[in-house]
Each structure stands twice: as structure tokens, then as C-alpha cells.
Chains A and B, each alone.
Chain A
């Protein structure tokens, strides 16, 4: 049985041993069989997260480590001009990436729902395939294209290397597929008779789009936006390699403070605030999406 593949490294699992499964198949139905797995997962994932939040709330002494709880560290880091700028840049960058992704993903979504099953498979494959390629390779490609003297430069005379524009383009390239996916979930759920029905009632294509399709796609748009926002706000490689000094975002500061300057206190603080922003964005997005879904079912009319 598959249970024999239980690895030794991080899963001592007395409850899920092979013998138990064979003797009592009903054991498979009891969720507490998963307890050892959950414990390991808690240690491996939740533990670090809890730690970094508590570290952000403690003072730090070089050489000795984290000391007593105090918000002094938090305040000091967060009121620094540099930090505020970094967060502002991060949010601006992420929002910009989201907007561009929406603009690109939406037409693709519309095409998708109007296409045959075969065409849909092709579209999905084309859009999703690059996601499976290493981020380093993809960023490398943009570096080659945008570097001074590179392809883009020779074609247009504009050097985008170490500019925010290059970072935005590269990030859109990395994440637009996720926006498309989210959007497709919503768009695919629109009953196919809805648009023809609207049109037989006299609606113009633009009106149908604006008052029928668009509102129904909002949940997918919002969820895609949350995903892309989180990804763009958390991007390290691309701003670092393509943006250079023009891209002072939080993730670069986290990377530098942790691995270059060996200052875990600053890293912990920045990471905690970034995490908080992310969580807030997710919660806000869910609230917005819920409003629109509610409208949809309650009155049968579209949210304005």
C-alpha cells in the first residue's frame, strides 16, 4: 500500500502504519490519522511564521540574539523613511502589475468562453506552459532583451535595463497566467444562454458586456487580483536583477538585511509587515467578492 512509502525523515507516524490500515479499513476514515502529518507541517510551516512575527516584536542584540518583547524595534524600522518608501514602492508595483494583468487577461478570458473545447485546450496550454519554467530563466531572458546594447535597445533605442518598466513587464510575464486562470473560473460559470438572452431582449453587445458579463466575472477578477498582488509584492528575483537600484522594494530589503547584512531583526520586522499587508489584501478581496456574489443571487440584477 501507499503507506509503505512513508518517509523516515520527518514523519514518524504511529497511527498510520501499514498494519493498521490493512486490519481496519475504517481507520482510513478517521481524520486523526493525519495528526502526525499535521504536526510535522505545523513545525515546518506554522512554526517559522509564528517565530518571525514574535521576532519582529522583540529587541535584538547582535551576537546574543532576540531579547525581551518590546515594540521598540517595530516602531524604529517602520518609521524610517527608507522603509516607508520601500512599502510604498512595493504596493505601487504590485497594483500596477495587477492592473496590467487584468487588461491582458480579460480579452483572453472572453476568447476562451467563446471557443470550442479544442481551442480552449490550446489556449490553456499556451498560457500556462511558461509557468512551469524556472523564474531565473525567464528573468534572464528579459535581462538579455533589455540590457544596454541588447535586442530591445537596438530595435527601439530605449534602454529598459534597471528601470521600473522592465520589472513591471517581467512580473506581468510571470503572473498573468494566474489572472487568466482566476478569471476563467468566473467566466466559465456564466450560463451560456445569458448573453443571447440579453441580446434577444434588445441589449447591444457593449451593454451586455458591461451589465451582464463584467459583473459576473468580478469574483474571478478579485481572486486573481489578490493572487497576483501577493505574488508581485513578494517577488524578489525580478526586482533585484532587472530593477537594480531603481526598485527599492521591501522584498529586496528583506533579502539584503537577512543574507547580506545579517540583521534578522530588520528582516523579521519587514517580513511581518509584508505578511500583514498580504493577509489584509486577501481579507479585503474576499469581502469585495462576497458583495458581488451576494448581489448576483439576491436580486438577479447586476451590481453597479
Chain B
């Protein structure tokens, strides 16, 4: 048992190691990336903040994340509601179809999308990229919200209706608050997935208008500087905030499908 605990501890340390390294290298006072960093300085954060590429990338990524999250969550709400109310095999098949993207390697979908838009003659823009992001975030929204709706007791709705409440009121004051944890988790998780996406954005982003991860990838490929570390450090902090939020709201385990419940 002790051995298992130590092993798990090592694995956890292994998982965190690259993140620590990247964050640490951002504080260097030298002109190149190294870990442990040479000296201590915040100048690279200032440098990163002034780099136009990073700024526009961050802006685009944020907008994409917000929009993709709203669309996916709305769609997930709709699907969850309909599927749990109807309980037909068709409903289950619909959920199956909508969660298909998880099974397809992202790079295949990305390449296919690019050829698709080329065929249609559409220039690559925010909307074509958004469609890609929605496709990859929708399965998680559907999955999480269907589960959330399933744990909601429909008798509460019926009780409220029998007391004279209108459907709109019931949905707003009874159903939504009950699925609130799942809802918040979906919004946060889909936003994070979109924000983190690299492969789809790599293929579908218009030139000179790339989300932050793609900008970072280009730097990583051609021009590694501590400014990149600084950007990465900020991203790790943002992700950390999301992680804590998700853990508090719904528990990371449940988000991915595992539960800490002992049998």
C-alpha cells in the first residue's frame, strides 16, 4: 500500500514536472530559455504583453472560447432536455452521433474540415474556425448535460406544474438551478477545450489571424524565447483557476466520467 502511494506520488510529480519547468523558465533574467532559470526577472512577462502576436492571439482565443462554449452548452441543454424526456432509442442514438467526434483523431477532422471549406470555396475566417471548435466541444457538452438532466428528478417539475407554475417559470426556477453544477461545468469545460485547442486551429485558422495556441506553436517551432514561457505560465495559471472551479463545482472525476464514490 505504501509502495502504491509512493508510486502514485511520483506519477503526480511526473505529470506536473513540465508545467513547473515552463513556469519557472519564464522568470529568467537571461535571454534564453533554461531551467532552473538564471536570475530572477519579470521582464519577459512585460515583453510577452507587448508582443502583438500574443495579444491578438489571446483576443481571438478568448472570443472563440466564449462563443463555442455558449453554442455547445445551448445545444447540450437542448439535447439533454429532449433526450431525458423522450427516452426513446432514437434519442440515445442521437446522443451517440453527437459524441462521435471523440472517437475521431482531431488531426483527421481538422484536415477534412480544411478540404471541406476549400471545396465550398469559403475563405477561412472566424466562423469556419468556430464550427470546428463547436464540433469538438459539443460531445462533452452533450455528455455532461445529459448526465446532469438524468439526475434531476422529474417529479419536482410535475409537482410545480400541479401547483400552477408555468413551463417557463419551472424551467428557470427549478430545472436550471438543479442542473446548475453540470451547467457551470459544461460552460467552463467547453470554453477551456476551445481555448486549449491546437490541431483544429492549426488547420482552420486564417493566416495572420490565429488563436493563441497556434501562435505559441509557431514560436515553439521557430523562435523559442522566455516570452513564450511567460505566455505559457499565464495559461497554466488560467487553467489552474479553471481546474479549481471545475473541481469545486462538479469534481474533476465526474467531469471525465469517474466517480470517487466507494461502492
CB-contact partner of A16 in B22, B33, B78, B108, under 8 A? B78
A10 at the B interface (CB under 8 A): yes
Determine the residue in chain B with the shortest Cβ distance to A257.
Answer: B111
CB-contact partner of B239 in A127, A133, A140, under 8 A? A133
Contact status of A30 and B82, CB under 8 A, knowing A230-B105, A237-B198: yes
B51 at the A interface (CB under 8 A): no
A134 at the B interface (CB under 8 A): yes
Residues from chain B with Cβ under 8 Å of A96 in the complex: none
B163 at the A interface (CB under 8 A): no
A55 CB to nearest B CB, Å = 6
> Among A34-42, A206-214, A291-299, which stretch is in contact with chain B?
A34-42
Which residues of A12-38 have CB atoms within 8 Å of chain B's CB atoms? Answer: 16, 21-22, 25, 28-31, 33-34, 37-38
A70 CB to nearest B CB, Å = 18
- Please state if B108 and A271 are interface contacts (CB–CB under 8 Å): yes
A132 at the B interface (CB under 8 A): yes
- Please state if B213 and A136 are interface contacts (CB–CB under 8 Å): yes
- Please state if B4 and A31 are interface contacts (CB–CB under 8 Å): no
Residues from chain A with Cβ under 8 Å of B4 in the complex: 107-108, 110-111, 114
**How big is the A interface, by class?**
35 or more
A sample of 28 cross-chain residue pairs with beta-carbon separation below 8 angstroms, ordered by A number, consists of: A2-B171, A7-B71, A29-B86, A30-B86, A33-B78, A34-B78, A38-B94, A45-B100, A48-B116, A55-B115, A111-B4, A124-B253, A125-B247, A129-B240, A130-B19, A133-B235, A134-B196, A134-B198, A134-B239, A135-B198, A138-B19, A145-B17, A176-B15, A177-B256, A236-B107, A236-B202, A237-B198, A251-B107
Name the 3 nearest CB pairs between A and B, nearest first: A141-B18, A234-B105, A48-B112
Contact surface of A with B, Cβ cutoff 8 Å: 1-3, 5-7, 9-11, 16, 21-22, 25, 28-31, 33-34, 37-38, 41, 44-45, 47-49, 51-52, 55, 104, 107-108, 110-111, 114, 116-117, 120-121, 123-145, 149-151, 173, 176-177, 181, 184-185, 188-189, 191-192, 230-231, 233-234, 236-237, 240-241, 251, 254-255, 258-259, 264, 267-268, 271, 274-275, 278, 282
